[in-house]
Structure 1
């Protein structure tokens, strides 16, 4: 038996909005853009907040310059290009795009100067970033007048340090009593070892039964079209996966034959069990799926 989670649109708290936290400007569209499109279609006004979307320093490291060059980005307008890509993608998905002021890992001093470091352990000097992330998020939500219904964060497949930090932020929000879901990081989940790492991360951090979100072909096409907006990133992201549209379809079709599925897993809380957490969110209904 599995469990599905559905919306009760009659609930008077419909002003609450689902908030998707992205490490970088493309991560939500890549990983769960179909879900965002579905929520928007239902009138739930999803929000995408890029956590590491701030200004780079005036002087870039050699590693940061290499990352720009690899993607055909100019050092002086890379952020403007990325933000415009994000706006275009969010428009196609029906979401509101926002971002925090913290910079991407490649811009944070000399902590991450190689792929091995970028996809390795969080630098010891960066644990204070969790406090900064939480404060910046709270401030942005208050300023924008957004009341989160729930959050979604990456599982951290691929081990990018920014993805790890945003998952840790999700765990902190969960410890504060918020409902926080985790999405599987695309494209990393399709790369060799990705499924094994997804299973290990779900086992470690989440309830085992996922929220299985069935998409229509139109929802998936919106995800694909949104991903195409990130023109500066496509050649790098899909260099080992082939055609972007086909790779996204493979990811959506691999869960259940004949259906297009995206999955979210509920982060565990040390305070409440899974059933208690759902009971405290009145417009999320839990029912058995036969």
Structure 2
């Protein structure tokens, strides 16, 4: 079971593992946390985001359809919690918490970031049958310091599970960005696990990523070369074989 901050994160970061597990006959599910519809009025950041992805009228429906297609290709199930993502969240007075584009990326300590929401997420995760029944839960590390990723990571750390039943994934595309270089020294939790994949499962992951067409302009500096960029990184990581890297907490 994979905790996915947004609709594309599980596939971007864990798609080859998901494909492999489904191929082996394992029951695999992703849980998308932040896919709630925004409420008016929208923040400057939200308006800019909608314009950049070309979804000004219905910002969530087409993205969910993309997500459905990606999951279908991988052969895995999905659940969505419907919580509003950072761009849409407001405080009790109705003021946007992240009014500008740069605000969603957290600088400085993250321990006190939206503590009430962190507690709600932790409780929601613990109550999910998908979490309760899973042999293994995958959670994001928070590479890139996107507020939503940081919150999901913080909530996942509160899960009452054996440490060896939670595996932590590093997030694409942030691990490819120059400004995120050296992230391991800050947040890598312990022992890395390099998971290598067949060419078929790797291609299936790339095909699933292709489904998220609305997101390509904001995720990649060169959208048309994303498959090559992702594969070059993964092949270097796997010593010649495409791989994803995961982490165990000590």
When normalised by structure 2's length, the TM-score is 0.89
After TM superposition, give the deviation of residue 242 of structure 1 in Å. 5.4
Match of 1:62 among 22, 44, 47: 44
Count of residues in correspondence between the two structures = 242
Q: Give, in whole Å, the separation in 2 of the partners of 1:124 and 1:65.
A: 27
After TM superposition, give the deviation of residue 263 of structure 1 in Å. 1.3
**1:207 corresponds to 2:195:** no
After TM superposition, give the deviation of residue 125 of structure 1 in Å. 6.8
**1:267 corresponds to 2:249:** yes
Taking only aligned residues, the RMSD between alpha carbons, in angstroms, comes to: 2.0
Partner of 2:32: 50
After TM superposition, give the deviation of residue 238 of structure 1 in Å. 1.1
Q: Give, in whole Å, the separation in 1 of the partners of 2:132 and 2:71.
A: 17
Partner of 2:80: 99
**1:180 corresponds to 2:162:** no
Alignment of 1:78-157 (within 5 A): 78-109=59-90, 110-121=96-107, 126-139=114-127, 141-142=128-129, 147-157=133-143
Structure showing greater radius of gyration is 1
After TM superposition, give the deviation of residue 224 of structure 1 in Å. 0.6
When normalised by structure 1's length, the TM-score is 0.78
SS in 1 for 2:10: helix
SS in 2 for 1:73: coil
Partner of 2:12: 30
Runs of 4+ in 1 over 6 A off after TM superposition: none
Structure 1, unaligned runs of 5 or more = 1-18, 269-290
CA contact (8 A) 1:89 1:227 kept: yes
- Per residue, is there more helix in 1 or in 2? 2
Q: Give, in whole Å, the separation in 2 of the partners of 1:215 and 1:177.
A: 27
Alignment of 1:229-244 (within 5 A): 229-240=211-222, 243-244=225-226
Between stretches 257-266 and 221-230, larger displacement belongs to: 257-266
Structure 2, unaligned runs of 5 or more = 91-95
